[in-house]
Structure 1
Amino acid sequence: MQSEPDSIVEKSPKGRFIRFNEQIGKGTYKTVYRGYDEESGCEIAWNVVHLDQLPQQEERKRISEELNILNNIKHPNIISLINAWISKNKCEVIFITEIVHGGSLKKHLRKIQRPRLKILKHWCREILKGLEYLHSISPYPVIHRDIKCDNIFINTHNNQVRIGDFGLAIKLQQQDFTQSVLGTPEFMAPEIYEERYGPPVDIYAFGMTCLEMATQRRPYEECTAPNQIYQKVINRIKPKTLDLIQNQDLKEFILKCLEDQEKRPTASELLNDKFLNESEDDNQHVVILEEEQSEQILESNILKYDPVFREQLDFDSSILIQLNESDEMHIKITFTDLTKYNSSFQEFIKTSVQKYSDLQKPEQFAAFQEEIQKQGGIDKAVWVKPSEESKKIMKTQFLQSLEQFQSTVSTLLQDVDINEWELIEQQILVQFQQQRKQAKSRLPN
């Protein structure tokens, strides 16, 4: 017989906290139940981490770090830790946090669909106040590293927002940067992949969270694999969903958060941004393109270029790239280091070209050239016609063959009687004429 959700199934060692049979959340290694604090008379969140399910010692260390961080954090926009203990019999760590009625912002957004602009601004201020506090903790700032709607919780009784789930958080300690590559790919700043980052990564993730709040769409939903997201992020290609937002001030606010880390504003600076000031449009809903229009934009953006790679590495260390099947012109890339041409380079090219509306425009192609040369091992990139390129290849290969032939004949003629040279010359001429006809027939019309 199953227990009722409000039945008591467990008590804390000292009897202060009780756990009900109602699960309110679940992660990879953590399960969250509704509970009750008999000392305060308040409901609480009873978090259970199953130690035997953690894959390695590093994960256990992260749980310990999360508890250590939560134990020293007190702020109205951050979920508070109340108590914690280890259950050796069950191989579990239990920690008690305050419960936030309303659940995650992600869950709340599904209910309300599109928020009014003033509500979105309120949520932004609340999150930024929490981040401002974390980043100003002395002596060592705390980086959350996993800011997203799933980890932001909302009290639907008073619309207060709180940051939770500090499982990936870290104290910066003595160094100005940290190096672990952790987080949710859609919300990870470029510098995380470069393994040298600090508090600005939370601002980048906050920008992506704003984007999700406004559109109810996951950033980079056009990507089907983490590697595609990675290629877009490191090449600073913004999510396509950003084009759906019609509120220009909101879009500019998000773009500020997605700048390179040297230019990215702090939480304190964003709290003073003009976007968060009251305006006459605050009672309007966030405006995004209608479903049908947005699907058309996303689809057209995805299908803009479909590069095909044609290799001629053995000829002159180059490749030809046809951006679309019907294109007459190809991009020729010549390498100084052939090891740079691999599947990762192809993925980079496929992602990079999507940034440009028309690569045949000189200014756009110049930007593309500069971008690919930063990859290293590349001499140049130019536009070519495949037919002219084929003629060059044929001519070069013919001259190379002729040089080899001359070298061979010179050796042979040393042993031939001079009276037989005329006959040999005639035979060679016939062979050359036949070769020329075959080569000409292979050339494009």
Structure 2
Amino acid sequence: MSVNGGDDDGVVEQEGLLGRYVRYGELLGRGRFKAVYRGFDEKQGTDVAWAKIDGNENDLTKEEMEQVLREVEDGQKLKHDNIIKYHLAWLDYDAHCINFITELFTSGNLRDYRMKHKHLGMKAIRKWGKQLLAGLEYLHNQDDGPLIHGDLRCDKIYINGHTGDIKIGDLGLSTLLERRYREKAESGDYSNLVQANKIMADVYCFGLCMLELMTLEPLDPTKQPQLDELLESVAKTPVAYNFVKRCLVNEGRTPTAAELMADEFFTRPEEEERKESSSMSRSKSQTLRSSMDLQGVGGGDSEADQDFSSDLNKTLGSLKGDQFQFRVEG
């Protein structure tokens, strides 16, 4: 069967229950439990994401499949600007497969997008962080009690590259999540937090996402190599360092998403950050100048020395605030 639009040859691989959605053969991505294909909404004329969870490949019983379906259907009730929209879900008993359809973000996930755009200012990271917290605040304040994502990672967050808007995806799969953590013994205390339905787990994952955006180092809540070193690598921007540490280091009560949105990382005026960075640059310049004078380099107030000092200040001045690119080499 052929349609106008979709993938290159327009061949439909599957039709939805209501006849509104069709799935093409183009594979958009594959995770631990599901494969995601490009689909099409024939009523709205828009692309969608069509996910399939194969019960045979994942060794899921009929009862487990039905539980996963209920969880996915619960995701359809969520309505928030920073949460992926779920359109339709059903269980194909004959194929032993769950199908569910969501909105599609053509710029892909935030991890791949960040790796593609390596030179990124803190202003963009703050914007994304605030959107993530808005989504988490919504999830954690449901009428029936907190809804815990439990596996928030940058590759489960999706971005519209034209607007910078991001949405949290892969919600409502706690049955599969428990299996994932059982398979990863190194997840330790973190898996216990998730299974105990703790908000702390999502706050911790959020902190890892922010650290990944700052350092370009992919992080997983079940495995965090050199986490202390990564955290120290952002210490040159104290406001960012203190914010991420607040999420990752348990020093008593876990902050809520709303409390984190009120952190000075978001509220502190950028002009104040620029002033602090400029002051630090002048201090470095003066220290270097004094050291050079002690070593007999330069002639005090000579014209040549003044030119050198001017060039040095320009160089140091280029390292202001939002222009730092956080990266871990090696």
Judging changes above 3 Å, is the alpha-carbon distance between structure 1 residues 285 and 218 closer, same or farther for their aligned structure 2 residues?
Answer: same
Q: How far off is 1:274 after superposition?
A: 1.1
Query: 2:270 matched to which residue of 1?
Result: 279
**Same amino acid, percent of matched pairs:** 28
Distance 1:183 1:158 in 2: 38
Counterpart selection for 1:252 from 233, 236, 242: 242
Cα displacement (A) at 1:284:
2.2
Q: Which residue of 1 aligns with 2:140?
A: 135
Secondary structure, aligned partner of 1:142: coil
Taking the aligned partners of 1:183 and 1:26, their CA distance within structure 2 comes to: 20
Higher RCO (CA < 8 A, seq sep 6+): 2
Match of 2:298 in 1: none
Q: Which residue of 2 aligns with 1:315?
A: none
Given residue 117 of structure 2, which amino acid in structure 1 is its aligned partner? Answer: I
Give the SS at the match of 1:24. strand
Question: Any conservation in 2 of the 1:181–1:193 contact (CA below 8 Å)?
Answer: no
Q: Which residue of 1 aligns with 2:105?
A: 100
Residue 87 of structure 1, CA deviation: 2.3
Task: Return the match for 1:269 from 239, 252, 259.
Answer: 259
Q: Deviations over 1:58-84 (max 9, x none)?
A: 853552243133122111100011111
Does the CA contact (< 8 Å) of 1:180 and 1:192 recur in 2? no
The structure with more radius of gyration: 1
Q: Is the 8 Å Cα contact of residues 48 and 102 (structure 2) preserved in structure 1?
A: yes
Determine the structure 2 residue equivalent to 1:40.
Answer: 44
Whole-Å Cα distance in 2 between the matches of residues 269 and 184 of structure 1? 34
1:91 aligns with 2:96: yes
Residue among 102, 123, 126 paired with 1:121: 126
Deviation sequence 1:329-365 (CA, Å, 0-9, x none): xxxxxxxxxxxxxxxxxxxxxxxxxxxxxxxxxxxxx
Q: Which amino acid aligns with 1:29?
A: F
Unpaired stretches in structure 2, ≥5 consecutive residues: 1-6, 275-320
Please state whether the residue corresponding to 2:35 is helix, strand or coil. strand
Q: How does 1:73-88 map to 2 (within 5 A)?
A: 73-88=78-93
Could you say if the C-alpha distance between residues 101 and 187 of structure 1 is closer, same or farther in structure 2, counting changes exceeding 3 Å? farther
Could you tell me how far 1:86 is from its partner in structure 2? 2.3
Whole-angstrom CA distance in 2 between matches of 1:108 and 1:45: 18
Is the contact made by 2:153 and 2:205 (CA closer than 8 Å) also made in structure 1?
yes
Question: Does the CA contact (< 8 Å) of 1:81 and 1:97 recur in 2?
Answer: yes
Alignment partner of 1:240 out of 226, 229, 246: 229
Q: What is the aligned partner in structure 2 of residue 20 from structure 1?
A: 24
Change in 2 beyond 3 A, CA 1:248/1:36:
same
Contact 2:69–2:89 (Cα < 8 Å) also in 1: no
Q: CA 1:41–1:265 in structure 2 vs 1: closer, same or farther (change >3 Å)?
A: same
Cα RMSD between the aligned structures?
A: 3.2
Normalised TM-score (structure 1): 0.55
- In the alignment, which residue of structure 1 is the partner of 2:158? 153
Deviations 1:394-415 (A, max 9, x none): xxxxxxxxxxxxxxxxxxxxxx
Kept in 2, the 8 Å contact 1:147–1:187? The answer is: no
Residue by residue over 1:114-154, the C-alpha shift from the partner in whole angstroms, topping out at 9 and shown as x without a partner, is 32111000000010000000000012210000011011110
Aligned length: 271
- Note the C-alpha offset of 1:159: 0.8
Normalising by structure 2, report the TM-score: 0.72
Deviations 1:301-328 (A, max 9, x none): xxxxxxxxxxxxxxxxxxxxxxxxxxxx
